[in-house]
Amino acid sequence: MTLDEFRGAAERLEREGVAAISAAADAAALAAARTALLGRKSGKLTELMSALAKLPADARRDAGAAVNKAKQALEAALEARASALAASAPAAAAEDLTMPARRTWRGSKHPVTLVLEEVIAIFRELGFTVATGPEAETEWYNFSALNFPPDHPAMDMQDTLYLEGRALLRTHTSPVQVRTLQAYPPPIRILAPGNVYRRDFFDASHAPMFAQVEGMAVDEGITFADLKATLTHFANRFFGATKTRFRPSYFPFTEPSAEMDVQCGVCHGAGCSACKGTGWIEILGSGLMHPNVLRAAGLDADKFSGWAFGMGPGRVALARYGIPDIRLLYDSDIAFLEQFAE
Ligand code: PHE
């Protein structure tokens, strides 16, 4: 190649290169043009540089000037095209800074949980701690130790779901009474919250699975007066001025036994579907622990006595929040549950 030919090649590279750069329609095309022209391996300018090395020594100076001119022109064109493209690029997807932020969804506690937490807090002030037991129980803990005679019709009070083998789903939290007394010596005061299961159909006041909370106090010299005073204190604390009443009742594991009702929070005593027209909602069963239960747990029933209750926090929630149907507690209906968000 002669010097003149080299100059011609440099001019052509400049002309064609600048044209290619100005024609680049977007950033990607511009990057491709840059590589084709100035790329270190096989860019056109690089090729020209290697041709320069083969020129006679006296021609190289002028050839170098020519190739430099082309290089500078190409770089200037690249820069100009890049800023032109940036200026005309459509703005990134428009952000509307006036749009309100999306509220984060934090969820809320279920009404039954709210009731349980409050019940536990009130009893904690009286020295009651929380104990738990298994939901899959043995017949012995669920029935026999609680003084249910074998095959006694009293078991019909609690229609039972049996598992394989001899296990069953506990029908109440009362088995925790015996489990706790076997593990810890009196004096002892516990609350035992948990789920229980019965072969019941859903209706406005029944569910086949529901929460209970058991309460139990065992010591020397515990009497029915302790039971009544404690439960009345609880009812006053929890329901405020709402009326309560005790009714004589029967449970195999307590003697005497009493049920406590609170005035219905939906109709305030007038009678409605939530209270089956009675104006009262039964919230717990209670009584002095039967000596046979204390004995089953290995205690001296002549020395120790105790009282116990079993409360349905679902029923309590109905009365507390004026919920007309227990099924609402199990529907997982967000619109309903959100009302209890703090
Ligand atoms: N376990 C009884 C029930 O589920 C309630 C209860 C508990 C009654 C403790 C008396 C004492 O119906």
Decide: 142 in ligand 1 pocket, CB within 6 A.
Answer: no
pLDDT > 80? residue 151: no
108 or 89: which leads in pLDDT: 108
Strand order in the sheet with 209-219: 129-130, 188-197, 209-219, 305-311, 280-289, 254-263, 244-251
Decide: 285 in ligand 1 pocket, CB within 6 A.
Answer: yes
Decide: 234 in ligand 1 pocket, CB within 6 A.
Answer: no
Query: pLDDT tens, 31-50?
Result: 888 888 888 888 888 888 88
Q: Which residues contact 46 (CB under 8 A, 6 or more apart)?
A: 38, 39, 40
Decide: 309 in ligand 1 pocket, CB within 6 A.
Answer: yes
Query: pLDDT tens, 171-212?
Result: 999 999 999 999 999 999 999 999 999 988 888 767 899 999
What average pLDDT does this structure show over 74-99? 80
Protein residue with its CA nearest to atom 2 in ligand 1: 310
Pick from 6-15, 219-228, 254-263: least confident: 6-15
Q: Which residues contact 200 (CB under 8 A, 6 or more apart)?
A: 159, 206, 207, 208
pLDDT > 90? residue 224: yes
223 or 104: which leads in pLDDT: 223
Rounded Cα distance, 283 and 310, in Å: 8
pLDDT > 80? residue 152: no
Rounded Cα distance, 78 and 11, in Å: 17
Q: State phi, psi for 122 to the nearest 5 degrees.
A: -65, -45
What does the DSSP 8-state code read for residue 65?
H
Compute, in angstroms, the gap from residue 320 CA to the centroid of ligand 1.
Answer: 21
Compute, in angstroms, the gap from residue 19 CA to the centroid of ligand 1.
Answer: 93
Protein residue with its CA nearest to atom 6 in ligand 1: 310
Mean pLDDT of the chain: 89
- The whole-number pLDDT of residue 154 equals 60
**Highest mean pLDDT: which of 61-70, 147-156, 230-239, 315-324?**
230-239
Compute, in angstroms, the gap from residue 312 CA to the centroid of ligand 1.
Answer: 10
Decide: 310 in ligand 1 pocket, CB within 6 A.
Answer: yes
Ligand 1 atom closest to Cα of residue 172: 4
Two tokens, residue 336:
């309903």
pLDDT > 90? residue 243: no
- The whole-number pLDDT of residue 157 equals 63
Decide: 287 in ligand 1 pocket, CB within 6 A.
Answer: yes
Q: Which residues contact 197 (CB under 8 A, 6 or more apart)?
A: 135, 161, 169, 170, 171, 208, 209
Decide: 174 in ligand 1 pocket, CB within 6 A.
Answer: yes
Q: Look up tokens 């004026």; give the residue.
A: 322
- The whole-number pLDDT of residue 307 equals 98
Query: Is the pTM above the cut of 0.75?
Result: no
